[in-house]
Structure 1
Amino acid sequence: MAAATTERYRKEQSIPLRSSSAALYNNLSVLRLPGGRLAALSAVHGPSLSLLSAAADGLGFSHRQLQAKEGGMAVSTSLLTQAAWCVLPARVLLVLTSQRGIQMYESDGSIMVYWHALDVAEHSPARAVFARGIAAAGGRFVCVGTSSGLVLVFDIPPKGTNVTDGAGDLVSADDAGTLCIWSTGEEFTLLSKIPAFGCSCSSVKLWNGIVAAGYGNGQIRLYEAATGLLRAEVNAHARWIYALDVAPQTGKLLSGAEDSFVHVWKLSRNPDTGEVAIEHCHAECVTDTQVCGARFCDPEGNSFAVTGYDLSEIFRYGRA
């Protein structure tokens, strides 16, 4: 770990939610438009998604609730487990996961373009069935994890609803803490498998060939994507890490946890030696809040947003 650098963020005006946020991993999604302009935010609570769209003048947000649906137009009582925008070169989709399946909408949530049901009948009633973990990959794929250990990969057309199965590039993690790193292609190729060490992995991010993983013991570990070798580890939080995010243009890493803290880190790689370093840049205490979502609001990492369990607002922070 390199010497710490100091960056100051200040709290900005928060955004109210119609309902509170559930205690789910990465329970905050941010949609950024080209140029870094913030377009929308969302957070899950029970069977509904609070969707906040930025006003055209950038001075406010419009609010709407998006309910989980079970195919067609029938409203489902199924609980949502995650929501995220998947930004692909040709289109942007809002993807929701639940106890019953996967729903894909146009980016504003207005039209459902695809529904994939989980095969609940194959599992015993005592076993939880759900989908969780959403990522865009390979320029045309959306990948979603399931409680059975499968990663479902969907081939997304430039427009329309003709979504099919495919393959992509991603890092996957499970509750045991095992990481799998896959290459891009028409079929998955397993590049490396990083064994578990007795602790759940709640979040993974990939940047510049570095895998950043957050764990239930509060650690952040950095691995080489190509080989799976451990490059650095930091005792980042006192309790379970619930959220990670990375700013793609700068390599800043954002972490949020049950200990009420949000930290900003800086990842870097020495171009001559290939060595990986992580620096601590900023710490923010969200008082009496179990942080369950944290996302950068711009690709440089100059601002970020935070949600917390049973919190009916989204906190925002910007560079001072």
Structure 2
Amino acid sequence: MTRLDDFYKGQSLWALLMIATLWVLTPHPSHAVTQFQDYQSGKAQFELNANDKNIPYEIFFHSLMPEQTLRLTSSRAQLSSRVGLNQQWQTLDWKDGQLQWRAPKTPGLYSLETTDKASGHKIQLSVFVLRPASEMKNGVLNGYKIGSYPQPLKGLPTYAAPKGFIEVTAENMNTKITPHFTLGQFLCKQAGGFPKYMVLKQNLLENLENLLASVNEEGIRTDSFVVMSGYRTPAYNKAIGNVANSRHVYGDASDIFIDAMGKGQMNDINGDGKVDKNDAHYLYQFASNHAIHDHREDLVGGIGVYNANSAHGPFVHVDVRGTKARWGI
């Protein structure tokens, strides 16, 4: 072999090495597509109703007063269900397309799992047996300050004080209540130890899941929203100077923003190179789209846009009060 052959051989090896290196370092389109496709809506794969309320997701929640009966119904012929506390399971029997389970006296979180035997699909329902509001003394429930609820605004039932509260502990606060949200995300920012108490409505979570799916479909990839403020006790709501009948005290409101980068503030979701109120306006446009309400009155409510200040970045308020309200736009 001549020196010229050695030279070309060396050049060829060098070229192959460079090609291999560039292939490893270069982002591949298929990988980017896979990342986006990782988002899953978590929609339920079979029909199941709890006390006549459709369960829309594979992971969902329901609240009951102590000793209240939960009735599951379905048109599916082959279902099996079990209910558990601390992994101690009890089988529940289906008959003629329904089963009934009576909630125990003791408040807490009970897991109810239903399986479609034909397909193997499951629905996991977190059942919160509520701590009755009647146990409050001077606005304090089991050592946790709730405060006093105002008289219902204009006598509307949507402004009635809750009859019971979800009991939140250090052990259950990270429970998934829908595919993309946990119980603790909506907990009041009020100081104090466990147990804590809260109110949370199913239709708020359905609205947020619809909104989350909508922004992901448009290419804004995020697995959840940051919930700046979810439930507020009347005591905490008063302490921060908010109006007494804020929807936050009724458990059907949340202040949210998108932070897929983990920077603690809204992302530049409109792509203009900066984070400001325009990003909140962009999220507002998604939230005000009638399609995410599924044409249901119980998913209609208030949407507000807020600018950044020294305490927080821009965000959007979303609630499901049942009537349309808009502000800050």
Give TM-score, length-normalised by structure 1.
0.29
Give TM-score, length-normalised by structure 2.
0.28
Counting strand residues as a fraction of each chain, which structure ranks higher?
1
The structure showing larger relative contact order (alpha-carbon pairs under 8 Å, at least 6 residues apart) is 1
Counting helix residues as a fraction of each chain, which structure ranks higher?
2
User: Which of these two proteins has the greater Rg computed from alpha carbons?
Assistant: 2
